[in-house]
Amino acid sequence: MSDAADTRFDGLLMTIAQQQTDGIDGILSVFFSFLSRKTDFFTRPQMARASVDRAMSRYLAIAEEELKRRREAEEEAKRKAAEAATNHGDSRVEVIEDEEEGEEAAARAAAEAAERRRADLEKKQRELEEAQRAAEADEDINKPQGLPPTSTNGFEYPHYSFSQTLQDTEVRVPLPVKGVKGKQLDVDIKQDHLRVGLKGKDPLVDGELYAKVKVEDCMWTIEDGRVVVLTLYK
């Protein structure tokens, strides 16, 4: 029977081996018990012993050949390892020099990249500061010039003051005299211009509005006969 044919029974024999507690002796005991009970193998002792010897000799030779092959493979591996170690020692200086040169080049490249990033950051910072200064300058130009802002989001000026919400602006214009009536006033509200004063006198307020207003919704009144109060809707 060939080795290839022998593998057909591996599953069955493995099951028998797993059920034995005596190892190889148990497996052999089961096999020889089978031959004793189910065959005439032991009725001819000399032939039985010769058959067992042939099987032993065959598989011992196979095992010895496999052991020899493994030893030769191990020796070959050791020889190759020794040669590789020798060759590595000869080239170690060159490899180390190459590694050092590579590390120096990498360090130079990293330093150059860091310097470029620093220069870019400084340039962007300068541009940002210049833009902020320009924006602040524009804001100062457009900001109404007068006294500090009031708590009602407005300003107080020598001739008038104003406060505002999102929807409207209240302008208060103090009059130079008391007891003024509406017919004595010159009040002109346009979409982008406001004029307030006494008739026949120079206007107290006369200028362009910061934003357009809804003329039809705007109104004005006199408070205590001495302050003109205008409500301008945005």
- Looking at residue 95, what is its pLDDT? 56
- Looking at residue 218, what is its pLDDT? 95
Cα distance between residue 66 and residue 82, in whole Å? 25
Residue 107: inside a domain:
no
Helix (H, G, I), strand (E, B) or coil at 221: strand
Q: Which residues are within 8 A (CB) of 227 and not within 5 positions of it... i.e. 6 or more apart?
A: 172, 173, 174, 175
Closest listed residue to residue 28, CA positions, set 11, 42, 16, 39: 16
Tokens read off for 146: 């007068």
Residue 109: inside a domain:
no
Domain boundary among 35, 55, 81: 81
Cα distance between residue 115 and residue 31, in whole Å? 83
Q: What DSSP assignment string belongs to 119-155? A: HHHHHHHHHHHHHHHHHHHHHHHHSPPSSPBPTTS-E
Closest listed residue to residue 207, CA positions, set 175, 167, 160: 160
Length of the chain: 234
Residue 26: inside a domain:
yes
- Looking at residue 108, what is its pLDDT? 85
Residue 142: inside a domain:
no
Domain boundary among 52, 81, 110: 81
Domain encompassing residue 10? 3-81
Q: How many structural domains is the chain composed of?
A: 2
Output the domain CATH number for residue 179.
2.60.40.790
Q: How many CA atoms lie within 13 A of 97 on its CB side?
A: 4
- Looking at residue 196, what is its pLDDT? 95
Cα distance between residue 226 and residue 181, in whole Å? 9
Domain boundary among 81, 104, 120: 81
Residue 121: inside a domain:
no
Show pLDDT as tens, one digit a residue, over the chain (234 residues). 445 457 888 888 888 888 888 888 888 898 899 999 999 989 998 998 988 899 888 988 888 999 999 999 999 998 888 888 776 655 555 555 666 677 788 888 888 888 888 888 888 888 878 887 877 776 555 555 444 445 557 788 888 999 988 889 999 999 999 999 999 999 999 999 999 999 999 999 999 988 899 999 999 999 998 999 999 998
Residue 12: inside a domain:
yes
